[in-house]
Amino acid sequence: MKTKEELEKCRIEIPEKLKAVLSKTKGVDLSLKEEQDEYGFYATGLFRWKGKDILITLDEGKWHLSVNTKHPLGYYEMKEVRYEFCPNRMQMAQIFPPREDFVNVAQNCFHLFELSIV
């Protein structure tokens, strides 16, 4: 179980340049949101963990995880990041939008989005 203190040790400041870009992106919220479950503590923000930069934001009120690495991520690494940084109650998915809506600023940046499943 990851505690708040353990998570905070990984937290890094969001660079001003990135804040500026994200603040212009429709629906992105950089405010702090925290949540805890039986598996650990989770929060929005920027974290450095196991050589990866992990950004957790709220997009249209749903959690959005972006992970940037120096190498392509495989299934098991993505699974590990998902469960380490997002609450268990969530359904998370990698989404490929229409080509004209696809945005990725780095070659090895991968995204998971909280789904609304009824």
Q: What is the pLDDT of residue 50?
A: 96
Q: What is the pLDDT of residue 105?
A: 67
Q: What is the mean pLDDT of residues 38-65?
A: 96
Look up the pTM and report it: 0.91
Residue 55 scores a pLDDT above 90: yes
Distance separating alpha carbons of residues 42 and 50, to the nearest angstrom: 17
Question: Residue 113 in 3-state DSSP?
Answer: strand
Q: What are 67-102's pLDDT values in tens digits?
A: 999 999 999 999 999 999 999 999 999 988 888 877
Q: Residue 117 — pLDDT band, cuts 50, 70, 90?
A: confident
Residue 1 scores a pLDDT above 80: no
The conformational region for residue 61 under phi > 0 = left, psi -120 to 50 = alpha, else beta, is: left
The domain spans of the chain are: 4-114
Residue 56 scores a pLDDT above 70: yes
- DSSP letter string, 29-77: E-S--EEEETTEEEESEEEEETTEEEEEEEETTEEEEEEE-SS---HHH
Q: Which CATH class is domain 4-114?
A: alpha beta
> Greater confidence, 22 or 54?
54
